[in-house]
């Protein structure tokens, strides 16, 4: 319980709750640890509720009719998502799945509690709809990138973002993992990495990509 009390105040709407509401949330929230690769939520499963990432990284993706995974966006420590609370936000009708990209620690407020809060607290309700809008904005940015950006720009943007996220230029990424993240084929990733390597922008190793020239890589982003 002490651990839960430490993280509940990090919820954006926490300070707007009354004391009884806070007690109610404490009784209906929990800390969950997820190993890398573990499925957190699927549109085929029961509604989970609000997911707040304490640490780690989650990937939200959709499946094509051929079974291909299309990464929509990712969330990291300090971020939250309500796509796993589709039963709370009635207007959400989206075939999305959520998986732990790395070992992660999550704070989850169950769906029933979130539904009750949004009925009785305008601040919680506003947060829920604002968060839903942000999630869908992320989906739209991904779709725009796939439709209108060249693959060199998409790969450069992803590698740059990973450097900024991790604070390191040595990225533990396989070509398959990169392909999964940028919605492309492994072979296409391999060819582009070879091009970047020939230009002195990156160096590839077994399961790693080292960014040698971050500013040069950024020039590809458009």
pLDDT digits (tens, 9 = 90+) for 125-178: 999 889 888 888 988 888 888 888 899 999 999 999 999 989 999 999 999 999
Query: Over 90: is that where the pLDDT of 42 sits?
Result: no
Contact between 98 and 86 (Cβ < 8 Å): no
What is the C-alpha separation between 159 and 90, in angstroms, rounded?
36
**Residues composing the chain:** 222
The answer for residues whose C-beta is within 8 angstroms of residue 99's C-beta and 6 or more apart is 37, 38, 39, 40, 58, 59, 61
Domain ranges for the chain = 2-147, 149-218
CATH fold of 149-218, please? Arc Repressor Mutant, subunit A (1.10.10)
pLDDT digits (tens, 9 = 90+) for 59-81: 999 887 677 888 999 999 999 98
Average pLDDT over residues 1-10: 81
The model's pTM: 0.77
Query: Over 50: is that where the pLDDT of 1 sits?
Result: no
Q: Report the percent of the chain where pLDDT is more than 90.
A: 61
- Look at the block and give the residue holding tokens 């029933």: 112
What is the C-alpha separation between 184 and 151, in angstroms, rounded?
8
CATH fold of 2-147, please? Jelly Rolls (2.60.120)
DSSP one-letter string for 153-218: HHHHHHHHHHHHHHT-SEE---HHHHHHHHTS-HHHHHHHHHHHHHTTSEEEETTEEEES-HHHHH
Higher-confidence residue of 197 and 85: namely 197
Assess whether the region 2-147 and the region 149-218 belong to the same CATH fold: no
């Amino acid at each position: 319980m002490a651990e839960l009390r430490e993280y509940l105040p990090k919820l954006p709407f926490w300070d707007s709750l009354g004391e009884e509401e806070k007690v109610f949330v404490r009784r209906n929230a929990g800390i969950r640890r997820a190993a890398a690769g573990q499925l957190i939520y699927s549109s085929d499963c029961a509604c989970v509720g609000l997911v707040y990432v304490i640490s780690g990284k989650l990937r939200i993706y959709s499946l094509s009719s051929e079974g291909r995974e299309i990464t929509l966006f990712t969330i990291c420590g300090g971020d939250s998502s309500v796509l796993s609370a589709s039963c709370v936000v009635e207007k959400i009708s989206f075939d999305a799945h959520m998986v732990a990209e790395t070992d992660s620690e999550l704070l989850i407020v169950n769906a029933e509690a979130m539904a009750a809060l949004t009925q009785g607290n305008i601040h919680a309700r506003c947060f829920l709809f604002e968060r839903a809008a942000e999630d869908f904005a992320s989906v739209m940015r991904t779709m725009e990138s796939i439709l209108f950006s060249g693959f060199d720009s998409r790969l450069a943007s992803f590698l740059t973002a990973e450097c900024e996220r991790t604070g390191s230029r040595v990225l533990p990424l396989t070509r398959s993992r990169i392909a999964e993240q940028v919605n492309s084929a492994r072979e296409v990733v391999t060819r582009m990495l070879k091009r970047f390597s020939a230009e002195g922008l990156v160096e590839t190793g077994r399961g790693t990509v080292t960014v040698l020239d971050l500013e040069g890589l950024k020039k590809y982003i458009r």
